[in-house]
Amino acid sequence: MGKLYTFLKYFFITVWTVFVVAPFLWALTTSFKDFNSVNGGVTYIPWVDFEPNLEGWRVLIKSPAQGGVDIVEPYFNSLFVTCTASLVSIILGTLSAYALSRYTFKAGPIKNNDITFFFISQRIMPPIVLSIPFFLFLGAVNLLDSLFGLIVVYIVLLMPIAVWIMVDFFNKVPREIDETALIDGCNPYQAFYKVVLPNSIPGLIVAGMFCIIFGWIDFFFAFILTFTEVQLLPVKIVALNSSITPWWSLSASALVSVAPLIVVAFIVERYLSKGNLSGAIK
């Protein structure tokens, strides 16, 4: 019984590992291929099946005029939009979450839980519902195809995540520490800034990671709200996926775009092992 279970367990883990790794390995080998080794039949192993070359990687930094793809600018655009929107969402979301966790609000039938639910429920909103008015509004104020317009939209996407994680987190930070700080003569802002925040760093990191993940992987809004002036990485890479697809540069750019977030996987796992995450996401 025990042996069978162990066997099945390792079997299942192996199968899943292969499934998870397969597209990455495929992209990695493809990125070193040229036209012939892609279109002449399926090849797998460099030096055995085909002669590897670096063309797929080289075009990434060449400008389009030289026949390149130039993902450098979209890369920094993506980085900038994701980080700015995450930062704003974390700051505003943390403040709101702190209020919702520590104080009681009452406006008619609306109580704390309803306000929290309002924040979180914004994730239910299908992006397509907002896309049409956003498209028309941003067009009306001349923010279509601009970084600022995208950041505004991303704040709506990310703030619910920040509030969701931080409310739960603050609920677990003992109230006594704020109260002690208040008795010691801090005003509420100092208490929050000097005492509560330093004790909330694990929560802030987890919330930050999630904001960055969901900001970085968004395609839809960037796709609809930008055209030529501003291009984000996912849009740029998907645009490569045209009729005659250069599989090699496509694979190389995909790997480059995926790389930074793999670091995030390590950080998330670390907090998971320490048990900090269990309270933060529930």
Q: Which of 137, 186, 199, 204 binds other proteins (CB under 8 A)?
A: 137
Joined together, the tokens standing for residue 50 give 């085909």
Instruction: Output 65 or 282, the one with its CB closest to other proteins.
Output: 282
134 touches other proteins by CB under 8 A: yes
Instruction: Tell me: does residue 240 bind other proteins (CB under 8 A).
Output: yes
Q: Which of 7, 35, 44, 148 binds other proteins (CB under 8 A)?
A: 44
The structure tokens 């309002």 sit at 118
User: Considering CB under 8 A, how many residues would be counted as binding other proteins?
Assistant: 98
Confirm or reject binding of residue 124 to other proteins (CB under 8 A). yes
Task: Kindly identify the residues of this chain, within the stretch 64-93, that bind other proteins according to CB under 8 A.
Answer: 92-93
Phi/psi zone of residue 89: left (φ > 0), alpha (ψ -120 to 50 degrees), beta?
A: alpha
Asked if residue 262 binds other proteins (CB under 8 A), the reply is: yes
Q: Under the criterion CB under 8 A, does residue 269 sit at the interface with other proteins?
A: yes
Q: Is 135 in the site for other proteins (CB under 8 A)?
A: yes
Q: Which helix (H) or strand (E) holds 111?
A: strand 110-111
Which among 282, 173, 168, 157 is positioned nearest to 225, based on CA atoms?
157
Residue 61 lies near other proteins (rule: CB under 8 A): no
Site for other proteins in 216-235 (CB under 8 A): 216-217, 219-220, 223-224, 233-234
* 4 makes contact with other proteins (CB under 8 A): no
Residue 50 phi/psi, 5-degree rounding, is: -150, 165
Site for other proteins in 168-207 (CB under 8 A): 182, 187-189, 192
Of 199, 218, 232, 216, the closest CA to residue 265 belongs to 216
Convert 45-80 to b/e letters by CB count within 10 Å (16 or more is b): eeeeebebeebbbebbeeeeeeeebbbeebbebbbe
With CB under 8 A as the contact rule, the residue among 155, 167, 207, 252 that binds other proteins is 155
Of 98, 143, 144, 165, which one interacts with other proteins (CB under 8 A)? 98
Q: Is 57 in the site for other proteins (CB under 8 A)?
A: no
* 48 belongs to the binding site for other proteins (CB under 8 A): no
> Dihedral (C-alpha) 225, 227, 233, 234: value to the nearest 10 degrees?
60
Strand-pair partners of 204: none
Smallest separation, CB 80 to other proteins (Å): 16
Q: Which of residues 65 and 171 has its CB atom nearest to other proteins in the complex?
A: 171
> Interior CA angle at 52 toward 47 and 55, to 5°?
175
